[in-house]
Amino acid sequence: MEQESARSRASWPVTLVVLLFAISALVLVLKDGGGKTAPEPASSPTAKLDLTSLPMSSTTATIKAAPKDPRPTKVPKGTVVHPKRVIPLYDAPDGKAFAKIGPKQFGDTWLPVITRNRDWVQVLLPSKPNGSTGWLRSSELSEANSRFLVVVHLGARTLELVEDGQPVGIWTVAIGAAATPTPVGRTFVLGQIVDDKQPFSPVILPLGSHSDTLDSYGGGPGTVALHGWTDPAVFGKAVSHGCVRVPDDALALLRTVPIGTPVMVDQA
């Protein structure tokens, strides 16, 4: 099944920029991040596993046992998966359960697949440290595809949106300052927050990555995001706390990209 086009369904949000934020909206949404779900069917392979003993992978969590991304510069193929309920994360196919993931983060959880092995998929996770991954059973997932890719070039200070391998647009953006750099590697669009009360950007697209230098920001977990900015003079500069600030026309397109869409951040 393929996820609907960004232009035809704005309710499948996108993001590709990185920002560290802690706002009341973030906290409120996170309270829905894994919560009450349907019980495991008796036939489920994880039905006998005690999930209560496992930490929940979310943007507020740090899970040191998570396997590290083995190929952080490789572009994912666009396959994304959605947990049907709270399910365990494993360190390898048929391996040890080290955490769990729920069907909600900022709305529905969609995670990019980076490796497939028989009836298992390896996905990128929203929890710290950056580059965390885990293995999930395919039978416990819904699967879709995103035709989009977001690429942030830190050296050029540009953000590029690609659809079906073809560039949709490229924009000059603001990136993290030297003391609070935008983290490199592959991540993904974790969700979308719409808050008209925010003075700098009414739309924030949190990513599955976090600041490498700030444990928290403004009371939040230091989540990196894509968002707009009120002063266009910042574009082309390294001035943020790790976020990627984008022009309004870029944000309008990015917010229509499916959740789970891969985001590549490089030094070029």
Q: Tell me if 35 is assigned to some domain.
A: no
Band (167; pLDDT cuts 50, 70, 90)? very high
Considering the candidates 82, 153, 210, 243, report the single residue annotated as catalytic: 243
pLDDT at position 99: 98
- What does pLDDT average to over the chain? 86
Number of domains in the chain: 2
Average pLDDT over residues 181-205: 94
241 catalytic? Reply is no
Same domain as 165, residue 141: no
Same domain as 121, residue 196: no
Question: What's the pLDDT tens digit per position in 75-108?
Answer: 999 999 999 999 999 999 999 999 999 999 999 9
pLDDT > 70: what percent of the chain?
A: 81
227 catalytic? Reply is yes
Q: Tell me if 185 is assigned to some domain.
A: yes
Considering the candidates 82, 153, 210, 227, report the single residue annotated as catalytic: 227
Could you tell me the residue range of the domain that residue 127 belongs to? 51-145
From 106, 128, 145, give the residue that closes a domain: 145
From 84, 116, 145, give the residue that closes a domain: 145
Could you give the dihedral angle defined by the CA atoms of residues 72, 77, 83 and 88, in that order, rounded to the nearest 10 degrees? -40
Band (32; pLDDT cuts 50, 70, 90)? very low
Same domain as 227, residue 120: no
Query: Bridge partners of 120?
Result: 117, 137
Average pLDDT over residues 27-37: 40
pTM: 0.84
